[in-house]
Every structure is written in structure tokens, then in C-alpha cells.
Amino acid sequence: MVIENYNLVDAFYMTIITVSTVGFKEVQPLSVEGRIFTAFLIIFSFGIFAYTVSYITRYIVNGDLQNYFKNYKVDAYIDRISDHVIVCGYGRNGAQAVKTLLAYGKEVVIIENDDDILTRLKEANLLYIKGDATVEKTLVRAGITRAKAIITTLPNDAANVFVVLTARELASSIQIISRASEDSSEKKLRIAGSNNVIMPDRVGGAHMGSLVVTPDVYEFLDHISVMGSNEVNLEEIPYKNIPSQFHGKKLSELDNSYDSGCLIIGYRNPEGDYKVNPDPQLEIIPGCKIFVLGTQSQIRQINTLLQL
């Protein structure tokens, strides 16, 4: 338009047939300046075209396009799920927590920002979000408001406190389990809103000491697992999962009605007090919880019967 005084339509038409290399007849003969401009326009346009083709080819060959669609599908799935568990950090403790949850068939969303770990998660087809768990937006992306629980296993206690505070603010009723490295952090984490605080060093040391004092007892307890994949398992049954016809009834009535082979070995009342080998005459009341022991098949049967 500037060089040849074309109107807008003619200028647009000439540009299109030049860039596309179609090369129909010129609207009107070009001046020297117009021909020079057209030559540079062709070179510039061809360069952009060649770069675009090479970029798209590299994107496809390197698997970036496939990863993009896979990440899109993962993000879309995370947006739909509910009653899942969020695990912040996939270190040794986080990986073990995920393994346990998966053994029980729970859906898990992992928050991690280490690229090497993210590659492993991708190869294992685990649900994950790349990001900082201390950032509120990341927890929202992980579905914190729809999640059943959140486990924070970050190596820094201050970061765990921040995650607990943010999670409790976003979801007041969610169950929060946090790792602590220092004794002084346990109280802070509970004040921040953590339901349970686990200190791996303390638990591991106590376990090793107990193996010296009462080795057979602890070997037996190790055999009775809550891992979901061992031969003998423990299962908890909250009040809400017990059929309504047994609400207010005695433990013996529930036990006699379901011939699964599982044993009721524990009971927790609404106040949080535990009773081992509970009296069969104890009543099933709101807020209570029952603990049963059985083999894998027996646990599966009771889960099917109670629709857990």
C-alpha cells in the first residue's frame, strides 16, 4: 500500500499470492522498489515457514506433542476426581505412602517439582502435578477441596507447616497427615491443623529397639499388615460405612450377620478411646470405628458386603 499505492484489497491479495508462492499475475506492474520489497517478503515468509515446519517436526519426533496430550488428559482427569489423596513430595516417605495407598485402591495425586522424579512418575503412569505444594494455586489444581486427605512429606518442616496451614484454610474438614523431622515441629504442625504428625526417625528407631526386646512380637505385628497386599491385613470400618440397620446395635449382631471370617479386634468410641478385643455387647454409635483382622480374601469379602 505504501510503496505501490495499492488499495487494501489489492495489497492483501498480492501479499497472499506472494507468501503462498502461488504467483498469479500482478495486480499492476511493480516498480523497482516494489520488486525489492516482494523479494524480501518471499525470503522472510519462506524462512518463517521452514522454521515452523522444523519446529513442529522436532516437537513430534521428541515426543513433546505426545507428552502435551498426555499431560492434558492427566490434568482433565484430576479435575474430575474426588475423594482422592494428595501426597506432597515423592521422596522416600512420599513414595512409601503412595505405594500403600495404591495397594488399597485409593486414587492419589502427587505434587512434585523435581524434573527427574516427575519423569519417573510419568513412566509409572501415576497422577501428578508439577508445582510447589506451598503455593495455594498448586493445591487447588490438585483438587484440595474435593480430596479426602492430604499427606505432606516435604523434607523441610517449615514448608510442611505452610502446606498444613494452606490446606486447612482451603478445606476445613480434610484429613491432614504431616511428616516432621524435629521434635519441636510436632506441636507447630498440630497447631497449624495437622490431624496426625509422623516422625520417621522416631518410629524407625523405636521399631528397631523393640525388635531387640521383643523380636517375636514385632515380627508377628509386621506380618499383620495394613499394606493391603500382605497375606493378613487390618481394615478400619467407620460408622458411616456400617449398614444403617446395625446403627445402635451391638457388635455381636454385626459380627453374626456377616460370615466373612474377619475378626473384630478393635473399637474406637467417639471420644477417641480405643478398646482392644472389644466386648461384643458394645453398641455401634455415631462417631465410632471398628477394626477387623483377616486374610486378603476375607477383607475383600467384608469390603464387598459393606460396599467399602
pLDDT at 230 over 60: no
**H or E element, residue 108:** strand 108-112
Residue from 60, 123, 121 nearest 94 by CA:
121
Place of cell 456377616: 258
106: its cell numbers: 485409593
Residue 85 pairs in a beta bridge with 108, 149
Q: 81-101 in b/e burial notation, b at 16+ Cβ within 10 A?
A: eeebbbbbbbeebbbebbebb
pLDDT at 117 over 70: yes
41: its cell numbers: 517478503
What's the rounded mean pLDDT across residues 83-96? Answer: 94
Could you tell me how many helices (H) and strands (E) the chain has, helices first? 12, 11
Split at pLDDT 50, 70, 90, the class of 166 is very high
What's the rounded mean pLDDT across residues 130-143? Answer: 93
pLDDT at 200 over 80: yes
The residues, any chain, with a CB within 8 Å of residue 267's CB and separated by 6 or more, are 251, 274, 275, 278, 282, 288, 289, 290, 291
Residue from 152, 144, 141, 145 nearest 97 by CA:
152
Backbone phi and psi for residue 6, each to the nearest 5 degrees, phi listed first: -70, 155
The SS3 assignment for 295 reads strand
Residue 264 pairs in a beta bridge with 292
Is residue 255 a contact partner of residue 226, using CB atoms and an 8 Å limit?
Answer: no
What's the rounded mean pLDDT across residues 97-116? Answer: 91
What's the rounded mean pLDDT across residues 242-269? Answer: 86
For 9-67, the pLDDT digits (tens) are 988 888 888 887 776 777 788 888 888 888 888 888 888 888 887 877 776 666 555 66
pLDDT at 142 over 90: yes
What's the rounded mean pLDDT across residues 261-275? Answer: 89
- Per-residue pLDDT, 197: 93
Query: What domains can you pick out in the chain, each with its CATH number?
Result: 8-61 (1.10.287.70), 82-198 (3.40.50.720), 231-305 (3.30.70.1450)
Mean pLDDT rounded to a whole number for the chain? 85
For 100-109, the pLDDT digits (tens) are 899 878 999 9
Residue from 71, 101, 104, 75 nearest 86 by CA:
101
Split at pLDDT 50, 70, 90, the class of 69 is low
Percentage of residues in the chain having pLDDT higher than 90? 38
Q: Please give the Cα distance from 122 to 114 (Å, whole number).
A: 12
Which amino acid, residue 95?
Answer: A
